């Protein structure tokens, strides 16, 4: 029969092996999403829409070379934010994006959740407080007059002279009759972008700013307008808080017991567990038995999964 020390060593070795085998980076995104725990988490948020949403995350990952270099758990965390807001992450739809950026402080690429202007509009409409809401690019020749004080704007959408965008206009009207119009010139949007650019080269275009400048510009105008004058529902407040927020990346090393399909070691047998629960040291003369303090195998392996959130 195994001694108390031998059992402790066996349990420690198994725990160490499990920790190594379930690192998020080694699992990869597909394996990570296929774990029962991750599937359960998405199902708790999206119910029967979870499989389709998780498939869209994988499609996004497979089609984006930059995102494939990002830390897998950061992608899952960003996807979970989109899921909690019930917004698709297909970048072609423009509701929300998961983008990769290099974190020079941490020394690796991580994913970041970004809300698109369509996402802000969607959340505003869901609140039931907005009768109308929109944001548009203004092309050369369309702007006739803009009064910053009274917020009166005169646009002639049929007078467009070229495809050059000179500014962006946002508007909303609440169900109680309150309405607001804002207009930002392209130079104002660019100054805002440079000010909040996290890259060393402040003028460089990165991520969605590079692939779809107008979409990000309209989002900037809309976000600023809603943040100052709009009525924010709980979901909208959460969106403002989560949008472009850098989240701490947590590995699942401490969550080994929840990833049963990804851990490749045999669990202790019933006999081992009973032995671990009440190990006995047999005296030399086989007549005296001394029972040591009970050691729970579950307690030895118990690892709190909740940290993965």
Which pTM was predicted? 0.69
Per-residue pLDDT, 23: 52
Q: Which of 43-57, 242-256, 266-280 has the highest mean pLDDT?
A: 43-57
**The pLDDT of residue 56 is above 90:** yes
**Which residue ranges make up each domain of the chain?**
4-17+264-308, 24-121+232-251, 128-231
pLDDT band with cut points at 50, 70 and 90 for residue 203 = confident
Backbone CA torsion sign across 127, 135, 101, 27: positive
Digit-coded pLDDT (tens) for 185-195: 999 999 999 99
Tokens for 237, please give them. Answer: 């407040």
Residue 77 host element (H or E) = helix 72-84
Tell me the sheet residues that pair with 113: 98
Per-residue pLDDT, 42: 94
* Cα distance between residue 304 and residue 308, in whole Å: 9
Digit-coded pLDDT (tens) for 22-45: 455 556 888 889 999 999 999 999
Per-residue pLDDT, 274: 44
Per the model's pLDDT, the better-predicted residue between 294 and 130 turns out to be 130
Instruction: Count Cβ atoms below 10 Å from residue 243 Cβ, excluding itself.
Output: 19
Q: Which of 138-142, 290-294, 303-307 has the highest mean pLDDT?
A: 138-142
């Amino acid at each position: 029969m195994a001694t108390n020390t031998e059992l402790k060593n066996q349990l420690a070795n198994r725990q160490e092996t499990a920790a190594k085998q379930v690192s998020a980076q080694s699992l990869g995104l597909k394996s990570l999403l296929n774990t029962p725990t991750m599937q359960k988490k998405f199902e708790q948020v999206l119910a029967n829409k979870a499989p389709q949403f998780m498939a869209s995350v994988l499609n996004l990952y497979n089609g984006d070379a930059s995102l494939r270099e990002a830390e897998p758990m950061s992608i899952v965390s960003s996807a979970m934010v989109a899921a909690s807001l019930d917004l698709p992450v297909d970048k072609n739809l423009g509701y929300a994006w998961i983008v990769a950026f290099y974190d020079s402080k941490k020394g690796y690429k991580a994913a970041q959740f970004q809300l698109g202007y369509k996402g802000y509009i969607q959340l505003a409409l869901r609140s039931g407080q907005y009768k109308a809401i929109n944001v548009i690019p203004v092309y050369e020749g369309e702007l006739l007059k803009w009064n910053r004080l009274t917020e009166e704007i005169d646009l002639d959408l049929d007078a467009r002279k070229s495809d050059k965008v000179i500014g962006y206009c946002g508007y909303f009207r609440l169900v109680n009759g309150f309405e607001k119009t804002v207009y930002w010139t392209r130079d104002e949007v660019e100054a805002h972008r440079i000010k909040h650019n996290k890259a060393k080269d402040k003028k460089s275009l990165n991520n969605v700013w590079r692939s779809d400048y107008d979409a990000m510009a309209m989002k900037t105008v809309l976000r600023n307008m809603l943040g100052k004058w709009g009525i924010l529902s709980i979901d909208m407040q959460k969106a403002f808080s989560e949008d472009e927020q850098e989240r701490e990346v947590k590995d699942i090393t401490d969550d080994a017991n929840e990833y049963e399909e990804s851990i490749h070691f045999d669990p202790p047998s019933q006999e081992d567990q009973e032995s671990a629960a009440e190990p006995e040291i047999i005296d030399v003369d086989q007549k005296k038995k001394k029972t040591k303090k009970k050691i729970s195998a579950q307690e030895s392996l118990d690892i709190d999964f909740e940290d993965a959130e």
